Structure 1
Amino acid sequence: MIQKHIKVFATGGTIAGIAGSATRRDYRPGQLGIDEFLAKVAELDLPAKLVGEQFANIGSEDMNPELWRRLHDAASAAMYDDACLGVIITHGTDTAEETAFLLDQTLPTAKPVVLAGAMRAADAVGSDGLRNFANAVRVAGDPEAAGRGVLVVMSDRVFAARDARKAHTENVDAFKGFPRGPVGYVTPTSLEWFGPAWRAGEPARYAFFDAMPKVPIIYAYAGMSADNVTQALDGGAKGLVLAGFGHGNAPRGIRDALADAVRQGVAVVRSSRVDEGLVDREPEDDAAGFIAARALGPARARILLQLLLANGITDPVRAQVEFGRR
C-alpha cells in the first residue's frame, strides 16, 4: 500500500536561520539542513508523513532562475506522484512572492503547493518558523487547498500567490494580500477557507522556460532622466516594467522614452511603487502601446511579462487581457 506523504523542498531562508543567541538581532539564513529541520518538526507530532529534499540553503535574496527551474520540475513531478498529497517549499521571505507567483503561473492546480517562511531565526526568542510550517502542513494536506494555485502561509493566514506580498521589514505579521486579502485562516489545529477554489482543474497557464527574457524594473523618482530607459535597452532588455508614481505615472521624458521603446519592439508595463491600488488603463496607453499592471506590483508584473514574452505573447492588447485576469 502506498503511504501518502507531503514533499518538503527546502531552500533556506530565515526559517532555517541561526543567530547563535535567542536575543541577537543579526543571524545567518539557511543554516539548518532539511534533515535537522524535520527532526525539530517531528517533535510537534504532526499528523502527516513528510519527505524532505534540500534544494538550496540560501537567503532568498540569492534566489535565481536555475533554482526556480529545479523547483518547478520537482513540483511538476509531484503533481503526477500518486503518493504525494501536496508540496511545501520552505523559503526566505524577501523573494517569496516572486517564487510563488512564477510557480503559480507555470504549474497545474491539481495539488496544493505551499510556500512557508519565517521572520525570526530558528533559535530566536518567539521564533515563528515552526508554527508557520505546521500551518503549511495543514494546508498542504487539505484536499480543498487544490484548485487555488500556489499559496503562501505566514502568521496564521493563507494568501494566494496572485495577491501575496511582503509589506513589513521585520514584523512577524509581515505579509499582506492585495486586492483580495487572505484566502484562508489556519492554525496547527484548524483551517478555514474564505471561499471556494477559483482555479479547480486548471492546467498551467504558461510554459516554464529555462531562459527567460530580460525584463528590468525602472523605479520612478523625482528628477529622473530618460537615461534610465536607454541604459536598460542598451543592456538587452526585451521588456520593461515601470514602478511608477501613484497610478503608474512617470516624468514626461520617461514616458516618451518608454513609448519609443515600444516602437522598437520592447514591451512596457506600467505598475506602481505605491503599496496598494490598481493601475488601470488610461487614454495615453493606447497611443503609446503600454500595458497596465492592474493589481500586480512591480515584482510580479515583471514575472508575468517575462512569461508572456517567453510564451510568444507580445501583442500589448493580448498581454493586457492576461494582466487583467489575475
Structure 2
Amino acid sequence: MKKISFYASNFLVVMLLVASTIVTGQTKLPNIVILATGGTIAGAGASATGSAYTSGQVKIDAMIDAVPNIRQLANLKGEQVANVGSQDMSVKVWLDVANRINTLLASKDVDGIVITHGTDTQEETAYFLNLVVKSDKPVVLTGSMRPSTALSAEGPLNLYNAVAVAASPKSKGYGVMVAMNDEIHSAHSVKKMMTTPVQTFQSPEEGMIGSVVFGEVDFFHKPHGLHTTSSEFSIDGVKSLPRVDILYACADSSPDLVDLMVKAGAKGIVIAGVGDGNMNAGTLEAVKKATKAGVAVVRASRVPLGAVLIKGEIVDADYGTVSADELNPQKARILLMLSLLKDRSREDLQRVFIEY
C-alpha cells in the first residue's frame, strides 16, 4: 500500500506541474548572450535615405529593446565587447571575443551566443571562431547592410532571427553560423558577394545550410569541414597570432612584393592568385625563395569560386607551397595564422587546408 501511495503521489505532483505550465503558458526559455562588436547594425546616419552613416552608434541594450517579441525567444543578456566598424576588426578583438565565448559556453547557464558584427569582415570573424570555439552550443553572427536609422533597416529582423537560431535545439553541433536575410550559412562557406545589397551573404559553392523565417528555423545539411569541438586549434594562453600577409596577383605583378613581405616579418604569405592560384614567373621564383627560407606560402585564388589544384599549372611540391583548396584568400590567411602557432611540415599544412 505504501508503494502504491508513493507512485500515486508522484504522479499527482507531475500532473499538477503539467497543468500549471498549461495554465500559465510558461516554458523554460534558453539563455542566450548577445555579444556586440559594433558595425552597421549599430550604425546611425543623418538621413533615412542616404548612404552615409557612422558604425557602432547604438549600444546593445538599446538594440535588443528595439526588437518586438525578441524576449519571447530566450532570456537575453547583452555585452558590449567591442565597438568598431568591421573594417577595423583586429586579431586582438578576435581573441577577446573567442575567449569570452569559450568562458560563457562552458557554463551550464548559457545555451548559445549571438554576435552582432559589421559585414565587411564578418565571414573572417565567423571562420576564426569556427576554428577556436570549444563547444557544440550554437554561435551565430548577424548584422545588417543598412544602419539602424535607414529606411527599411533589416537589422532588427536579422537580430531576431539570429536569436531564434541560437535558441533552437536544432542548432547544436552546426559550428559557427551566419544568419542574415532569412538564411543560415556555415562559417566555412559563407562569402560577402556584393558591396551593399541585403542579399550579400551567400554560400555559392555549397549552399546555405538552413533558413530562418520570422524565427522558424530549418536546417538542410551539415556544414563542411572540421570545426569547434573537432578542431585541433586552441587559443589558450595565446596573446597574438603570427603575421600573415596577402598578395593580390594581377597581370605583371611585381615579384619584389614577396621579398618586402618577408623582410617586414611575415611568417606566412597567402597568394590571391589568378585563375587556379597562379602567378607570373618572377613572383613564382620569389615564392620559391621565400619557402626555402622557411616562410609558409599558400596559394588561393582571386576568382570567387573553385578549389585550387595541388597539381595544376603549379605543382605545389616543386615550390614548397600549399593549396588553399576552396578557401578564399582572407579565410586562408586565418587558417594559416592559426596553423603557424606550431611548427608544421608542408605536408601537414596541406592536410590542414584540406580538412578545414
Normalised by the shorter chain, which TM-score bucket?
over 0.9
Structure 2 residue 233 is the aligned partner of structure 1 residue 206: yes
In structure 2, runs of 5+ residues without a counterpart are 1-27
Q: Report sequence identity in percent.
A: 38
Q: What corresponds to 1:290 in structure 2?
A: 321
Q: Distance in 1 between matches of 2:325 and 2:222?
A: 23
Aligned positions of 1:48-87 closer than 5 A:
48-87=74-113
Does residue 118 of structure 2 align to residue 92 of structure 1?
Answer: yes
My pick for the range that moved more, 294-303 or 58-67, is 58-67
Provide the C-alpha distance between the structure 2 equivalents of 1:131 and 1:201, rounded to a whole number of angstroms. Answer: 27
Q: 1:265 is matched with which residue?
A: 294
Task: Tell me the secondary structure at the aligned position of residue 41 of structure 1.
Answer: coil
1:22 Cα offset (Å): 1.2
Instruction: Give the secondary-structure state (helix, strand or coil) at the position aligned to 1:216.
Output: strand
Cα deviation for residue 115 of structure 1 reads 0.4
Aligned-pair CA distance for 1:173: 0.1
Q: 1:147·1:200 contact (CA, 8 Å) conserved in 2? A: no
Contact 1:86/1:111 (CA < 8 Å) preserved in 2? yes
Out of 196, 199, 202, the position equivalent to 1:173 is: 199
Task: Describe the shift of the 1:24–1:200 C-alpha distance in structure 2 as closer, same or farther (beyond 3 A).
Answer: closer
**Which residue of structure 2 lines up, in the alignment, with residue 248 of structure 1?**
277
Secondary structure (helix, strand or coil) at the match of 2:250 reads coil
Q: Would you say 1:104 and 2:130 are equivalent positions?
A: yes
Deviation at 1:189, TM superposition (A): 3.3
Q: Supply the distance in 1 between the matched residues of 2:287 and 2:223 (Cα, whole angstroms).
A: 38
Give the structure 1 partner of residue 331 of structure 2. 300
Q: 1:211: Cα distance to partner?
A: 1.4
Aligned residues of 1:116 and 1:153 also touching (Cα < 8 A) = yes
> What runs of 5+ residues in structure 1 fail to find an aligned partner?
none
CA distance in 2, matches of 1:200, 1:236: 29
* Matching residue within 116, 140, 158 for 2:166: 140
Does structure 2 conserve the Cα–Cα contact (< 8 Å) formed by 1:146 and 1:197?
A: no
Q: Across the two proteins, how many residue pairs are aligned to each other?
A: 324
TM-score normalised by L of structure 2 = 0.87
For 1:207, give the aligned amino acid: S
- Asked if the contact 2:29–2:74 (Cα under 8 Å) also holds between the matched residues in 1, the reply is no
Alignment of 1:147-226 (within 5 A): 147-196=173-222, 202-208=229-235, 209-226=238-255
Match of 2:303 in 1: 274
Q: Deviations over 1:221-266 (max 9, x none)?
A: 1111211101001100101000000110010110111011000001
**Structure 1 vs Structure 2 CA RMSD:** 1.7
Per-residue deviation, 1:299: 0.2
Max radius of gyration: which structure? 2
Paired AA for residue 70 in structure 1: D
Quick one: which amino acid aligns to residue 159 of structure 1?
H
Partners of 1:280 and 1:197 lie apart in 2 by: 22
The runs of at least 4 consecutive aligned structure 1 residues that moved more than 6 Å come to 197-201
Return the alpha-carbon distance in structure 1 between the equivalents of residues 344 and 204 of structure 2: 26
Q: Secondary structure at the match of 1:147?
A: coil
Instruction: Work out whether residues 107 and 203 of structure 1, in 8 Å CA contact, stay in contact via their aligned partners in 2.
Output: no
Instruction: Using the TM superposition, give the Cα deviation of residue 187 of structure 1 relative to its aligned residue in structure 2, in angstroms.
Output: 1.3
- Distance, in Å, in 2 between the alignment partners of 1:220 and 1:86 is 40
CA deviation string 1:112-144 (max 9, x = no partner): 001001000111111110111111011101122
For residues 233 and 135 of structure 1, the distance between their equivalents in structure 2, rounded to whole angstroms, comes to 44
Question: Match of 2:67, SS?
Answer: helix
Q: Give the distance between the partners of 1:260 and 1:55, measured in 2 at CA.
A: 42
Which has a greater percent of helix? 2
**Is the contact made by 2:63 and 2:156 (CA closer than 8 Å) also made in structure 1?**
no
The secondary structure found in structure 2 opposite 1:84 is coil
